[in-house]
Amino acid sequence: MRTALLSGLLVTVLWWVSAENSQQAGAPTGREASGRFFGGRWFPREGRVSDEELQALREEARSMFDFGFHNYLQHGFPKASLLADHSPSWAVLLGHDSQGGVAITLIDALDTLLVMDREEHLVSAVHWLDINLSFDLDARVHVFELTIRALGSLLSTHVLLANNLVIMPEYNSCLLRLATELGDRLLPAFNTPHGIPLSWVNLRNVRITFYAL
For residue 202, the domain's CATH number is 1.50.10.10
Query: How far is residue 152 from each of residues 6, 54, 55, 208, measured CA to CA in Å?
Result: 38, 29, 29, 21
Q: Binning pLDDT at 50, 70 and 90, where does residue 198 land?
A: confident
Residues of the domain holding 191? 50-209
Residues comprising the chain, all counted: 213
Give domain status of residue 201, yes or no: yes
Give me the sign of the Cα torsion angle 99, 104, 105, 108. Answer: negative
Are 183 and 147 within 8 A, CB to CB?
no
Q: Between vectors from CA 195 to CA 137 and to CA 184, what angle results, nearest 5°?
A: 30
Q: Binning pLDDT at 50, 70 and 90, where does residue 14 land?
A: very low
In 3D space, the residue among 201, 202, 209, 157 whose CA is nearest the CA of residue 179 turns out to be 157
Q: What are the backbone dihedrals phi and psi of residue 51, each rounded to the nearest 5 degrees, phi first?
A: -60, -35
Report pLDDT for 31: 43
Share above pLDDT 70 across residues of the chain, in percent, rounded to a whole number: 69
Give domain status of residue 185, yes or no: yes
Q: Does the pLDDT of residue 152 top 70, yes or no? A: yes
Question: Residue type for 25, please?
Answer: A
Which secondary-structure segment (H or E) carries 64?
helix 51-75
pLDDT in tens, 27-44: 455 544 567 666 667 777
DSSP 177: H
Give domain status of residue 35, yes or no: no
Burial bucket for residue 174 (CB in 10 Å: 0-12, 13-18, 19+) = middle
pLDDT in tens, 74-84: 888 887 766 65
Q: Point out the least confidently predicted range of 44-58, 60-74, 80-94, 181-195.
A: 80-94
Q: How many domains are there within the chain? A: 1
Report pLDDT for 3: 46
Give domain status of residue 30, yes or no: no
Question: Ranked by mean pLDDT, which of 21-35, 86-100, 125-139, 190-204 comes out on top?
Answer: 125-139
Give domain status of residue 32, yes or no: no
Give domain status of residue 19, yes or no: no
Are 199 and 207 within 8 A, CB to CB?
no
pLDDT in tens, 86-124: 555 444 455 556 777 788 999 999 999 999 999 999 999
Give domain status of residue 142, yes or no: yes
Burial bucket for residue 135 (CB in 10 Å: 0-12, 13-18, 19+) = buried
Give domain status of residue 154, yes or no: yes
166: helix, coil or strand? coil
